[in-house]
Amino acid sequence: MKIENRTTYKLKLNLEEFVRKTFAALPSNHTLGITRVVFVDRIQDRNVPADKRDKLPLLYHPKTPVSGAWFEIALAPLLEHKGWWQRMVARRTLRANLTHTLLALMGQHYHLNFSHGRKKTEYEPAIRDYIRKGLEALREHDTSFRMRLMRPLIPHLDRFARWLAKQQRKALQAKAKQAK
């Protein structure tokens, strides 16, 4: 797989190493057929309407008879914001946003090519589930000091998140019941 960096942004993040680490946490058969990952400032594809190009952070190019599938990731929608505070936050969250972007593209590639029997209306929830599972795989694959400290707490935090979601569902049901 070829990783191309065509951006003009000066980043401290090594994009090639970042993509390889992200793909290493996923099953190797999910990446079959991907020929390249290209990082650009803005997406310039003519098939995308001009008003959407500036805001589009990712684009999946499916496999054709001439070339294999490839990903295009635009950094401008992820980094350019008005105000110094928003620009600083965008720089700090770039790694997380790129991880989500790569996993979304991988989920789209996987479900379009290897997961048969899905309707077009079922793709979005399936891709969201793929991203969630990919993030869990990355979390298990991470061996940093911070992750080693957090690993014993993760089951408790997950249980707390499920409890909060349950409380939110109950509150929404009670609100809907009162509205009737």
* Assessment of whether the complete model's pTM goes beyond 0.85: no
Task: Give the Cα separation of 42 and 54 in Å (integer).
Answer: 6
Q: Report the pLDDT value the prediction gives residue 74, as an integer from 0 to 100.
A: 93
Q: Report the pLDDT value the prediction gives residue 171, as an integer from 0 to 100.
A: 96
Q: Which residue has the tokens 């349950």?
A: 166
Question: Which 3 state secondary structure label does DSSP give 73?
Answer: strand
Q: Report the pLDDT value the prediction gives residue 140, as an integer from 0 to 100.
A: 85
User: Please, what is the angle between helix 94-113 and helix 123-141, to 10°?
Assistant: 130
* Low-confidence residues of the chain: pLDDT under 50: none
Task: Give the Cα separation of 70 and 117 in Å (integer).
Answer: 23
Q: What is the pLDDT of residues 69-114, one digit of tens each?
A: 999 999 999 888 888 999 899 889 999 999 999 999 999 998 888 8
Beta bridge partners of 37: 3, 71
Q: Report the pLDDT value the prediction gives residue 4, as an integer from 0 to 100.
A: 92
Q: Report the pLDDT value the prediction gives residue 129, as an integer from 0 to 100.
A: 92
Q: Report the pLDDT value the prediction gives residue 53, as an integer from 0 to 100.
A: 84
